[in-house]
Amino acid sequence: MRIHPALAAVLAIAPVAAAGLAGSSVTLPAIPTWYAGLAKPFFTPPNWLFGPAWTVLYVLMAFAFWRVITLDRPVIDKRAAIVAFLVQIFLNGLWSFAFFGWRSPGAGLVVIAALWLAIVATIFAFAKLDRMAAWLLAPYIAWTSFAAALNAGVFLLNR
């Protein structure tokens, strides 16, 4: 089934934007307060880097998802990829609530482990349909791996 590219753009951007906005709503207020007081690993990048990095990653995610949902294939063929993407983007937003909103590096670590697995599943599901869409998620899994190490470091340094 072919979906109109403009509708697909809305469908691809909406979950990514929702996760980003929801995550930012709990992250930004916690940075100058709770997060500023935490001990952090030596490899923690400056705070200003996170916004541009996540903006690029969210654009790549939305574009990858758009590529998958605009494929001229039956929905049944795309279902696993769509579900995997929606699960991982939900976990993406949930991580901000776990780490920053609940102020729990431990909960963040649990969520980011699930997120990492969900991203891997999404990459594999995308690769079956569109290799470029899968490759567009490579920076995301790399950054999430780095973020998991940061999360683990914060957890260990602040126990």
What CATH number has the domain bearing residue 22? 1.20.1260.100
pLDDT band at 3 (very low <50, low <70, confident <90, very high): confident
pLDDT band at 2 (very low <50, low <70, confident <90, very high): confident
The confidence score (pLDDT) of residue 51 equals 95
CA distance 72 to 66: 12
Contact 40, 154 (CB under 8 A): yes
Contacts of 48 (CB under 8 A, 6+ apart): none
| Domains contained in the chain, number | 1
Host domain of residue 16: 5-157
Q: How many CB atoms lie within 10 A of CB 34?
A: 12
> Model-level pTM?
0.96
Q: What is the per-residue pLDDT across 31-82, written as a single tens digit (0 to 9) for each? A: 999 999 999 999 999 999 999 999 999 999 999 999 999 999 888 999 999 9
- Residue 20 burial class via C-beta count within 10 angstroms: exposed 0-12, middle 13-18, buried 19 and up: buried
Q: What is the per-residue pLDDT across 68-119, written as a single tens digit (0 to 9) for each? A: 999 998 889 999 999 999 999 999 999 999 999 999 999 999 999 999 999 9
Distances (CA, A) of 132 to 16, 25, 54, 60: 18, 31, 20, 11
Mean pLDDT within 130-154 = 98
Helices (H), 31-137: 47-69, 75-96, 105-129, 131-136
Contact 14, 130 (CB under 8 A): no
